[in-house]
Amino acid sequence: MPSLVLPTRDRGLETYTMSRAQTFDVLTSSAAPRIAYAAAHVVADAMHDGDPGLDTAIDWDATIAYRRYLWGLGLGVAEAMDTAQRGSGLDWPSSLELVRRSIAAARDFTAGTGHPALLASGAGTDHLDPAAHHGVDDVIAAYEQQCAAIEKAGGRIILMASRALCACATSADDYLKVYNHILGQVGAPVILHWLGDMFDPALKGYWGHGDLDKAMEVCLEVIGHNAAKVDGIKISLLDDAREIAMRNRLPRGVRMYTGDDFNFARLIAGDDAGHSDALLGIFDAIAPAASAALQAMARQDMAGYRDILEPTVPLSRHIFAAPTRFYKTGIVFLAYLNGHQDHFVMVAGQHGARSALHLADVVRLADRAGVLRDPELACARASQVMAVHGVGV
């Protein structure tokens, strides 16, 4: 098996030998026992002549090809969210172009395969100037603009958390005003997204409270008032106990979409009281394993489900380690190792957000989880990245 030189935590080096590639059964959408979205990343245009810290340059062909790959595994695509660097390099004009292209690709995929391509797209307020002062009515207008644009394109909405709302709200009443207004206008049920401040520090105190239990009460009030317009809620708090507590209180018909990249395997499996569906950034990186685990669940083979998915949990916990907002670097690194893009370059230069040691552990953990589909290719590409850091040269 191929091997490469990787750095170790004691500032030394080791020769790491890859394992054999693992093969996974592919899930068919008709057999899916859970709704499972992968929050998909974007592929940067590495040949763009511009400043990567200022320009949003996307390789559209590679980006859309990756979405087709996810649909081919029986997974849905959650579009233009934080995994796609929304709010950290991907602006609203580029997000809308991404949404439009993905909607067209989903229609084409469905027509060509006969299998529905599940797609939902993020609507937020990120086109508002963060340096300017905004009021609640400005936030409402911004949400209206993005929701209308996605609905006009034929898309389904994920209502993202708003930095602008968090900055201007003076109480929980402001959140109730905004969400009740927007949910009263949307044409079809949406997925709400409660993104914790470990993912985005600007969202600290969302729902009008620093206390998460009080914040949850506000969120549940919003859902209770608008249950007919809420398909479900994705919570990204990395707190499995709180997710289960909230899941058990949701109105009938409203889904819990886990955004817990630390505890997803157990939350998706569920308990006697219920289960979580999935809307996860880590499913971008472990898509074949996620698909195969759900296939095992569809056969009622829960031991097989656990055997496939539980080895991916240490990898996910490492990729999403603090500072969690840099998790996207590990996601794109794995896409590069697996041959889904020709380079390890990210929008806004975020490929430099994690250390060589961090990336080396991504290699080790991904290998142990069986999610490197071609160990020889992964080894060669990881060696190139390590060489940029002066490792093995």
Q: What is the pLDDT of residues 305-352, one digit of tens each?
A: 999 999 999 999 999 999 999 999 999 999 999 999 999 999 999 999
Nearest one of 198, 196, 217, 220 to 206, comparing CA atoms: 196
Bridge partners, residue 382, by sequence? none
pTM of the predicted model as reported, rounded to 2 decimal places: 0.97
In this structure, which topology does domain 131-237 adopt according to CATH?
A: Barnase; Chain D (3.30.370)
**DSSP label of 239:** -
Q: Name residues whose C-beta falls within 8 Å of residue 376's C-beta, 6 or more positions apart in sequence.
A: 2, 18
248, two tokens: 């058990």
Q: How far apart are CA 366 and CA 337, in angstroms?
A: 10
List, for residues 55-105, the tens digit of each pLDDT value. 889 999 999 999 999 999 999 999 999 999 999 999 999 999 999 999 999
Residue indicated by tokens 């709302």: 165
The answer to whether 40 touches 101, Cβ cutoff 8 Å, is no
Nearest one of 233, 268, 267, 272 to 253, comparing CA atoms: 233
304, two tokens: 């097989």
Give SS3 for 241. helix
Residue 30 has pLDDT above 70, yes or no: no
Residue 126 has pLDDT above 70, yes or no: yes
Q: Which amino acid is at 317?
A: R
230, two tokens: 């809420």
Q: How far apart are CA 209 and CA 121, in angstroms?
A: 27
Domain boundaries, the chain: 131-237
The answer to whether 373 touches 338, Cβ cutoff 8 Å, is yes
The band of 191, judged by pLDDT with boundaries at 50, 70 and 90, is very high
Q: How far apart are CA 327 and CA 211, in angstroms?
A: 25
Cα pseudo-dihedral 306, 308, 311, 317, rounded to 10: -80
List, for residues 259-286, the tens digit of each pLDDT value. 999 999 999 999 999 999 999 999 999 9
Please report how many Cα atoms fall inside a 13 Å half-sphere around the Cα of residue 125, on the Cβ side. Answer: 26
Residue 5 has pLDDT above 90, yes or no: yes
Mean pLDDT of 111-130: 95
Sign of CA dihedral 254, 162, 194, 292: positive
Q: Name residues whose C-beta falls within 8 Å of residue 328's C-beta, 6 or more positions apart in sequence.
A: 41, 82, 83, 85, 88, 281, 346, 350, 353
Phi, psi of 194 (to 5 degrees): -105, 105
Task: Kindly report the average pLDDT of the chain as a whole number.
Answer: 96
Residue 29: the pLDDT is 62
The answer to whether 117 touches 106, Cβ cutoff 8 Å, is yes
Q: How far apart are CA 117 and CA 111, in angstroms?
A: 9
